[in-house]
Amino acid sequence: MATELRVVGTPARKVDAAKLVTGYGTFTDDFFLPGMLHAKILTSPHAHARITRIDTSRAADHPGVHAAISHHDVARIPYTSAGQSWPEPSPYDQYILDSKVRFVGDYVAVVAAETPEAAEDALGLIDVEYEVLPPVLDMHDSMRPGAPVIHDEPESHGMYDAERNVAAHIEVEVGAVADGVTEADTVVSEDYFVQYQQHTCLEPHVTIAWLDEDGRLVLRTSTQIPYHCRRMVAFALDIPVRDVHVIKPRVGGGFGNKQEVVTEPLAAVLAIKTRRPVKLEYTRRDEFTIARMRHPQHLTMTVGARRDGSITATHMKVLTNTGPYGTHALTVTGNTGSKPLPLYRSPNIRFEADIVYTNLPISGAFRGYGAPQGFFALESAIDEMALALGSDPLEFRRANHIRKGDTDPVSAALAEGSAKKPRVMRSNGLPECLERGSEAIGWTAKRRGGMPLRPNEGPLVRGLGMCCLMQGSGVAGDELAAASIKMNEDASFTLMLGSADIGTGSDTTLAQIAAEVLGVPLEKILVRSGDTDHVTFDYGAYASSTAYITGQSVLKAAEDARRQIVSVAGQMLQEDAEALLVADERVSSSSGKTVTLQEIVMECLYGEEKTLISGRGTHATKESPPPFVAMFVEVEVDIEMGTIRPIHLVTAIDIGKALNPAICEGQVEGAVTQSLGYALTEEIVLSPEGRVLNPTFMDYKILCAADMPKLTTILVEDPEPTGPFGAKSVAEVAINGPAPAIANAVHDAVGIRLRHLPMTPDKVLEALGRL
């Protein structure tokens, strides 16, 4: 292999860019089948009720309607919508359609008709009688004795304690936190509250289902997890996995919301029943009401430290609202503890959590996967501790953060996969991130120190805040990816991937790895991905896994193909294959003999010794190296209006190796922007009955181009020895940062601590005593 990288490390144009900028049919819904029906869902108006009678016959008789079905028409098979490896660590507490509804918006019945209008009209013809039950509308009430039991049905299973509405429970301890608190000279202990956040993928959930010419079920669907989806739909419908074919076209954003199987089972049932293609597409209102959200939590964070600045105890206690279903309940909150808690060296660490059911919207996977909640609490508390000890928050973090060579004691105790061994930090660029990030923001010069306002100061006060972050690269011990690569007649290569590019650019990044190894330009790699009939198995796009896990499988597949090419070239050149070099679309010897890949492929296909060049690679690992971030933000607080305006946000991020720097920067910029909304503006407003009151972009505020601060992204590369070309993950880690960094900056500016997200003007004014 050439020692200098030619393709890896370049900001190459994405392999799917041209079709995306020209708008050519490429997403799930950009596709038409003759005779396609449109499905519409009847949803529950009640937060908690039993369906005592339901009759869909008038709807079924409506002109243009081909099917109108309720729980009477589907088998009662408990499953989970959480797209995880088997057996899913989420309770089996959902049904395709059920006789009980558990939140406002729960599925009641579904109709398929020739036009969307006919389907909509037919919904009004379904007769339903409900027995309304008392709901649980505050997670603090869920475990109260006598609270209504949300899952009282006998078929559901996998819940920690269904009678007390506890979906999952976690308790781990390393050392003894009680002793650590006693040893401490200073203890900081506070409560933090974080809200629902909606992913707002621009493309809503959408599935087109049909039966192919062999009678197999085809699902063209907007998903992050084609293979999990195939297995889960087969399970929920009780049909063989081989009879399901999942096609993932381009996906218009996932962010975890499509690590859920939510539209596929209903669309499948309707396609099988009607023998017609059926499209089920969520509306924007559906996305805001019946899709998934980031889990709301109440966190209690305690940190103890000695006068010399060493941490003696770290204790996080969490109450999580999973909504009516426990999809990703255990694992998201597991990551609330497992991602943040190893960041600072501490001999005594305790993490405990209850994840409870409520009759409120459904929580699920969301980029960051529990870590944003945990980092908000941890990084606020660390800041507070630093100041309590009279230390600079930057220096306090520098002194205490996890080092290269350290083992992470929390990961083994909390592992969700099969990796029950401590994680060793083989790479750690955090020191460089702290150095370069603090310089870019002007840390020492601009800190204000939360001093009282001077009489001549105006209402706009600036401050600086920071935080440190880490994540993982895949689920340790619970990942498997495969890639295959074949050489084509024009010396191009087809790279076949089970991984799901959902806009992250993974098709491009992975093709860059293949091009590098095979000594060809990127345009000679044709990527086929996300189709369970035609590509190899992969767990899918979640947990920041694709570049690190699937990347290794591509590296292995390309090396396999290269070995075969070199072997043929060795025969053609009469040279020792071991000593040959592959670069610039040719194979060369040190003596100057050379043969082109085009000549090699023709020799393989039509020469004397016929053979096919076809490489294969699979990868699984118990490693999950964390990327690290040092984030800095300058804010301006308007003490009269209560507004917080971020001015400049710097993310210095250690990702091991930037396989494609433009894609890496884009991942960071996007993550930061989503989390600026989480920190400042995004909030689901619920009525006292549990109904979402703001299901539109007009009333649920995500940031637009004019709201943005200046973003500076600094890519730091401390090579990860277990990653492809030294790479580890990039997609999630930065999303954990803006909330604590801004809260710390607000304290620096005006001396108040905001511990309740989002940090809206009313909370600022209240904390300032100006309301």
Nearest-angstrom CA–CA distance, 330 and 322? 9
For other proteins, the closer of residues 37 and 162 by Cβ is 37
Q: Give DSSP secondary structure letters for 110-177.
A: EEEESSHHHHHHHHTT-EEEEEE-----SGGGTTSTTPPPS---SS-B--SBGGGTEEEEEEEEES-H
Instruction: Please list the residues that pair with 463 across neighbouring strands.
Output: 635
Backbone φ and ψ for 242, nearest 5 degrees, come out as: -65, -15
Does residue 662 interact with other proteins by CB under 8 A? yes
Only one of the segments 82-90, 247-255, 335-343, 638-646 lies at the binding site for other proteins (rule: CB under 8 A); that segment is 247-255
Does residue 624 interact with other proteins by CB under 8 A? no
Q: Is the peptide bond before 372 cis (omega within 30 degrees of 0)?
A: no
Nearest one of 665, 656, 768, 759 to 712, comparing CA atoms: 665
Residue appearing with tokens 């980029």: 367
Asked if 152 contacts 89 with a C-beta cutoff of 8 angstroms, the reply is: no
- Helix, strand, coil shares of the chain, percent, nearest 5, are 30, 25, 45
Query: What's the residue count for the chain?
Result: 771
SS3 state at 229: helix
Of the candidates 2, 17, 451, 685, which one interacts with other proteins according to CB under 8 A?
17
For other proteins, the closer of residues 143 and 662 by Cβ is 662
For other proteins, the closer of residues 598 and 694 by Cβ is 694
Of the candidates 106, 479, 654, 665, which one interacts with other proteins according to CB under 8 A?
665
Nearest-angstrom CA–CA distance, 11 and 78? 46
Which tokens in the block code for residue 19?
Answer: 């079709």
* Beta strands 206-211 and 217-221, pairing class: antiparallel
- End-to-end CA separation in angstroms for the chain: 67
Of the candidates 702, 751, 766, 768, which one interacts with other proteins according to CB under 8 A?
702
Shortest spacing between CB 148 and other proteins, in angstroms:
35
User: Torsion over CA of 522, 524, 530 and 536, rounded to 10 degrees?
Assistant: -110
Only one of the segments 87-95, 135-143, 154-162, 658-666 lies at the binding site for other proteins (rule: CB under 8 A); that segment is 658-666
Shortest spacing between CB 692 and other proteins, in angstroms:
15
For other proteins, the closer of residues 445 and 704 by Cβ is 704
For other proteins, the closer of residues 331 and 499 by Cβ is 499
Instruction: Please list the residues that pair with 42 across neighbouring strands.
Output: 109
* Interior angle at CA 590, CA 589 and CA 596, nearest 5: 30
For other proteins, the closer of residues 116 and 175 by Cβ is 116
Only one of the segments 35-43, 248-256, 484-492, 533-541 lies at the binding site for other proteins (rule: CB under 8 A); that segment is 248-256
Which tokens in the block code for residue 191?
Answer: 């409560």
Residue numbers 429-468 binding other proteins by CB under 8 A = none
Asked if 244 contacts 234 with a C-beta cutoff of 8 angstroms, the reply is: yes
Does residue 577 interact with other proteins by CB under 8 A? no
For other proteins, the closer of residues 57 and 115 by Cβ is 115
Of the candidates 102, 250, 447, 755, which one interacts with other proteins according to CB under 8 A?
250
Shortest spacing between CB 741 and other proteins, in angstroms:
15
Which tokens in the block code for residue 336?
Answer: 């609330």
Residue numbers 262-321 binding other proteins by CB under 8 A = 283-284
Site string for other proteins, 711-750 (x = CB under 8 A): x---------------------------------------
Asked if 501 contacts 16 with a C-beta cutoff of 8 angstroms, the reply is: yes
Shortest spacing between CB 74 and other proteins, in angstroms:
28
Number of chain residues interacting with other proteins (CB under 8 A):
53
For other proteins, the closer of residues 31 and 537 by Cβ is 31
Residue numbers 477-506 binding other proteins by CB under 8 A = 502-505
Of the candidates 275, 390, 685, 697, which one interacts with other proteins according to CB under 8 A?
697
Nearest-angstrom CA–CA distance, 611 and 618? 22
For other proteins, the closer of residues 292 and 397 by Cβ is 292
For residue 361, what are the contacts with CB-CB under 8 A and spacing of at least 6?
Answer: 103, 105, 196, 289, 290, 293, 323, 684, 686, 692
Nearest-angstrom CA–CA distance, 596 and 585? 6
For other proteins, the closer of residues 69 and 714 by Cβ is 714
Only one of the segments 6-14, 168-176, 295-303, 515-523 lies at the binding site for other proteins (rule: CB under 8 A); that segment is 6-14
Shortest spacing between CB 659 and other proteins, in angstroms:
13
Which tokens in the block code for residue 450?
Answer: 């939360």
Shortest spacing between CB 125 and other proteins, in angstroms:
21
Residue numbers 181-210 binding other proteins by CB under 8 A = 199-204
For other proteins, the closer of residues 16 and 183 by Cβ is 16
Does residue 752 interact with other proteins by CB under 8 A? no
For residue 23, what are the contacts with CB-CB under 8 A and spacing of at least 6?
Answer: none
SS3 state at 618: strand
Shortest spacing between CB 235 and other proteins, in angstroms:
28
Residue numbers 22-81 binding other proteins by CB under 8 A = 22-27, 29-30
For other proteins, the closer of residues 20 and 647 by Cβ is 20
Cα 635 to Cα 109, 428, 670, distances in angstroms = 49, 28, 19
Shortest spacing between CB 566 and other proteins, in angstroms:
34
For other proteins, the closer of residues 185 and 697 by Cβ is 697
For other proteins, the closer of residues 17 and 612 by Cβ is 17
Asked if 547 contacts 720 with a C-beta cutoff of 8 angstroms, the reply is: no
Of the candidates 368, 666, 724, 726, which one interacts with other proteins according to CB under 8 A?
666
Q: Which amino acid is at 576?
A: D
Does residue 696 interact with other proteins by CB under 8 A? yes
Residue appearing with tokens 């490489």: 615
For other proteins, the closer of residues 326 and 677 by Cβ is 677
Burial of 477 (0-12, 13-18, 19+ CB in 10 A): middle
Shortest spacing between CB 30 and other proteins, in angstroms:
4
- Contact residues for other proteins, defined by CB under 8 A: 11, 13-14, 16-27, 29-30, 199-204, 250-255, 283-284, 502-505, 662-663, 665-666, 669-670, 672-674, 696-698, 702, 704-706, 708, 711
